Amino acid sequence: MIVTKKQKQIDRMLLMSVLILVVLGILMVYSASSVRGAEKWGDSTRFLRSHVFRVAIGLALLYIVSKVDYHQWRWITPFLLLFTIFLLIFVLFQPAFHGSKRSILFMGKRFQPSELMKLTMIFYLAVIFSKGIQFRAVNNKYVVFHFTTVLIVIGLVFVEPDLGTSLILFGVALTMFFLSGVALPQLTRMALFIPPVVGIGILCFPHQKRRMVDFVQFILGKADMNYQVRQSVIGLAHGGLTGVGYGEGKQKLSFLPEPFSDFILSSLGEELGFLGLMLVFILVAVILWRGIRIALRAPDEYGYLLAGGITAMIMINAVMNAWVVVNLLPTTGLPFPFLSYGGSSMMIHLAGIGVLLNISGRRTVTAREVKLRQFQDEYREDE
């Protein structure tokens, strides 16, 4: 008999690292958005207030989810998966916003179902593959079935179009298949689907084609760097070691597009310098460390897969955003976790941290420990 028991403490180091990133993000969103808010809306705090509101909802989700036994997500997962797939289909029939159909307008706020699908896919695969190695070995055909389901979900996100999120979903799925024990040759065959996905995106969607062509031509030395990325690199170079000072950045003055969302790392690097960026990546490294630690110490395989998938989701998103900022990847439109302006991403990532905290707050209790506790209780009663 092996059960899980709630511990007195959750992983405080993980929680503190996330909270520091969130606070740093609030400061940088205000600095990078104040000029645009004043020019466009006559209110320098407009974007800040919206961001703080979204952060507050995200932190509330973190708290609530951290209090819910992560095993409860098992029976919720099928309904959550069907609901999220419905939203992904529904969003395709909505009016385009900024050139794509990624978001649903609800009560004056926009929500991206693709962000919810990141967490939903992790729950789904964790439920499927937490049934033991023997189940997977005997029922290997089900691996193909569930991978096909993953491809269908990714396809719905892909046609929005949202190539960046599609690649994140693909990366998270492959990570979870690996963690669940799927053989390397089979994983390699799965990974071979990535080049065709990127190729179709380039052929079908003009803006994806333009970004990829600009990126490849620059790598080959046949064209200048993409304007957006060039301004990002200029901002990073301007910051140097210690930065130009908080609020003193110049790239946010209509030079760098999206200075408080997709390219917030550039704004931070310009104002707080290399040292500020090092702080961010040290905190991200701590989240990676604690996420792996929580996964390895999870009471059961379900918790192990959940923790591994959520950690992968955060890390892949952070790495892809950072690579775009320094022109190691074409522009993807992905925010940086916990820092960037963007409600859907903020809420889903904070909810994911809530799940990690709940897993960290539980430990395995073996049958021997249970019997020893019972013996001690009986001994005290006899006394």
| Triad 193, 195, 197: Cα angle to 5° | 70
DSSP three-state, residue 151: helix
Is residue 232 within 8 A of residue 266, CB to CB? The reply is: yes
Give every CB contact of residue 169 below 8 A, 6+ residues apart in sequence: 114, 117, 118, 121, 150, 153, 154, 157
Question: Is it true that the peptide bond before 161 is cis, omega within 30 degrees of 0?
Answer: yes
Is residue 321 within 8 A of residue 32, CB to CB? The reply is: no
| Rounded-to-integer distance, Cα 18 and Cα 352, Å | 11
From the number of C-beta atoms within 10 Å of its C-beta (0-12, 13-18, 19+), residue 244 rates as: middle
Give every CB contact of residue 342 below 8 A, 6+ residues apart in sequence: 54, 261, 335
pLDDT recorded at residue 327: 85
Distinct helix (H) and strand (E) counts, the chain: 15, 4
| Rounded-to-integer distance, Cα 158 and Cα 21, Å | 29
DSSP three-state, residue 98: coil
pLDDT recorded at residue 134: 45
pTM of the model: 0.87
Instruction: Name the residue among 270, 293, 274 with its Cα closest to residue 282.
Output: 274
pLDDT string in tens for the chain (383-residue length)? 344 555 557 889 999 999 999 999 999 999 988 888 888 888 888 889 989 999 999 999 999 999 999 999 999 999 999 999 999 998 888 777 666 677 787 766 778 888 899 999 999 999 988 876 445 544 566 778 888 888 888 888 888 778 888 889 999 999 998 888 887 888 888 888 888 877 777 777 777 777 777 777 777 777 777 788 888 889 899 888 988 988 888 888 878 887 888 889 999 999 999 999 999 999 999 999 999 999 999 988 899 999 999 999 999 999 999 998 988 888 777 899 999 987 888 999 999 999 999 999 876 544 444 444 555 555 455 55
Give the H/E segment covering residue 308. helix 301-325
Instruction: Name the residue among 344, 347, 342 with its Cα closest to residue 33.
Output: 342
Could you list the beta-strand ranges (E) of the chain. Answer: 3-6, 104-106, 109-111, 362-365
From the number of C-beta atoms within 10 Å of its C-beta (0-12, 13-18, 19+), residue 218 rates as: middle
| Rounded-to-integer distance, Cα 269 and Cα 235, Å | 7
Summarize the chain as % helix, strand, coil (round to 5). 70, 5, 25
pLDDT recorded at residue 338: 93
Give the H/E segment covering residue 24. helix 12-41
For residue 253, the 8-state DSSP code is T
| Triad 290, 291, 295: Cα angle to 5° | 115
Give every CB contact of residue 93 below 8 A, 6+ residues apart in sequence: 101
Name residue 133's amino acid: I
From the number of C-beta atoms within 10 Å of its C-beta (0-12, 13-18, 19+), residue 321 rates as: buried
Please state the separation of Cα 238 from the chain's center in Å.
29
